[in-house]
Homo-oligomer: A and B are copies of this chain.
Amino acid sequence: MKSLIIVSHPSIETSLNQQFFKEAAKSLDVTWHHLEKCYPDGEIELEKELALLNAHDRIIFQFPFYWYSAPAYLKVWQDTVLEHATKVLKQKELGIVLTTGVSEKEYQAGGKEEYTISEFLRPFQRIAHKFDMTFLPPFVMAQFMYQTEEKKWERLIAYQQYLTLEGQATLANRIDWFIKQLRDNSSLREKDQVKQEHIIEYLSSKKEELEDLTFTLRELKG
């Protein structure tokens, strides 16, 4: 399972969100594909795009919400590529990584933004279904700059999992994913490697217990 991140952002250098995402994606086996950078003259190469789509299993559109939709460049990409993409997209996954300056709770009936993010994303959801793709729940990063350091780290892991986690985002799957990430990280000093092995062992042994506990907590919260 390999992910292609199709990023559309006209001024990516000034975006803390996108810098954060790029950093988080670096250590993973994913392809970062920034449209505005790749095609500064505005001419999208159809064959190149189809080859990229063909080589990946999870396609992700990553963009800031511009007027309740993607920036114009991603629409150019859609209008150019999609009509030729039936074969290369069939039965793959489509994800959306969305950034917004507005709090997520404003996207509801009675909120400042009136409609849910799901409602605004109907065109993307329909595109996924049209190509017989699985539409993943969107990953929404709202008001990144106002978050605490701890929350930012949490979001970093969640983003990395959105890019690479196979199957549903259950706790067990997420723990397995975390263990794999620790194992793949071979840059630690010897002392840290021992610590790491302990963490992996602990997580592995407690996986079922942790999942039961999470379930119970959720039930208790109602």
Q: How far is the CB of A120 from chain B (nearest CB, A)?
A: 6
Protomer copies: 2
**Interface membership of chain A positions 28-72, coded 1 if the CB is closer than 8 angstroms to chain B and 0 otherwise:** 000000000000001000000000000000000000001111111
CA A10 to CA B79, docked complex, whole Å? 10
Residue pair B82, A75 in contact (C-beta under 8 Å): no
Known: A115-B126, A120-B122. A71 touches B67 (CB 8 A): no
Residue pair B123, A120 in contact (C-beta under 8 Å): yes
Residue pair A67, B79 in contact (C-beta under 8 Å): yes
Residues of A bordering B, CB below 8 Å: 10, 42, 66-72, 75-76, 78-79, 82, 113-115, 119-120, 122-123, 125-127, 129
A-B contact pairs, 14 of them (CB 8 A): A10-B79, A66-B75, A67-B78, A67-B82, A67-B127, A68-B123, A68-B126, A68-B127, A69-B75, A72-B76, A72-B78, A72-B79, A115-B125, A120-B126
